[in-house]
Amino acid sequence: MELLIQVLVQGVLFGGTLGLIALGASIVYSVSGVVNFAHGDFMVLAMYLTLTLYTLFGFEPYLSLLIVGPLMYFLGQAVFRWLLRPLADRHVLLVAQLTLGIVFAMQGILLLAYGGEVQRVPSALATVNFDIGGVVIRAAPLVAFVISLIFAVGFWVMLQYTDYGRSVRAVHQNPAAAARMGVRIKTVQYRTFGLGLAMVAVAGVALAPTVPFEPTSGLQYTLTTFIIMILGGMGNHLGTLIAGLLIGIATAVGEVYISGPVGQMFPLLLFVAVLLFRPKGLFGTAS
């Protein structure tokens, strides 16, 4: 019983951050239809930036949010404006191909700059544990979860109650009408791409002290992101968050109860099983 609770806690904590990562991709997809294969690699880039700030200036990893977040926001705008936007009217696979190219470029740059070894950003919190009735909760994943939750809720509030948020939803639901009402669709698109990268950067900073990373770690997160997005129903933000928690739990269950390659496959098996019965995902609506 204690083991089960332990597994669930671990799964939920990790799943919360996975949800935020997927939310960043989901919002980009919803306004521009871009499927970004470099999504996970941008997170790894944020992790390396956190590492750099730590090694150069001794920055407490969690505080580097304040620098890495905005940095990635502007990087995202630049990438969308100068790399993705020129291809936007072309075939969707061209854009996907380009993001795949960004993956290899970034992996190469990170490898050159930092070498191939596995890294982790030291934090004072890394060794702090709480023991609650036999269930051990490590502080660092808990902090990562809380940070992710705060940003996910903040994102939701922004989407619901601000002019920018309503514009994002308008562009998603009816771009033709939005254009006629004078919404600058391109501006919404690249701001949103910037925001998506800022969100994945927040997740990267939050994970950097607890999850080891190397230049090639990104693709794994990208694949998990796609699985979560599809599971939650493409473009459904709340569904995406919940699917993130589910995949987090499935990952933990697979690691602890099944172990080995089959255990690692457990989230994928769950994913396939869900799609067999709900092809549009758990919370997808026919549209």
Per CB under 8 A, residues contacting another protein are: 163, 166-167, 169-170, 173-174, 176-184
Closer residue to another protein (CB): 129 or 285: 285
Question: 73, 105, 103, 88: which is closest to 34 by C-alpha?
Answer: 88
Closer residue to another protein (CB): 162 or 259: 162
Q: Would you give the DSSP letter of residue 64?
A: G
Q: Least separation, in Å, of the C-beta of 159 and another protein?
A: 11
Q: Least separation, in Å, of the C-beta of 237 and another protein?
A: 11
Q: Least separation, in Å, of the C-beta of 285 and another protein?
A: 9
Question: 44, 46, 29: which is closest to 96 by C-alpha?
Answer: 29
Q: Least separation, in Å, of the C-beta of 157 and another protein?
A: 14
274 in Cβ contact with 281 (< 8 Å): yes
Closer residue to another protein (CB): 15 or 239: 239
Q: Cα–Cα distance between 280 and 54 in angstroms, integer?
A: 43
Q: Cα–Cα distance between 97 and 100 in angstroms, integer?
A: 5
Closer residue to another protein (CB): 88 or 223: 88
**C-alpha distances in Å from residue 267, one per residue of 7, 39, 111, 207, 270:** 14, 20, 29, 20, 5
Q: Least separation, in Å, of the C-beta of 160 and another protein?
A: 9
Q: Cα–Cα distance between 240 and 22 in angstroms, integer?
A: 7
Closer residue to another protein (CB): 50 or 189: 189
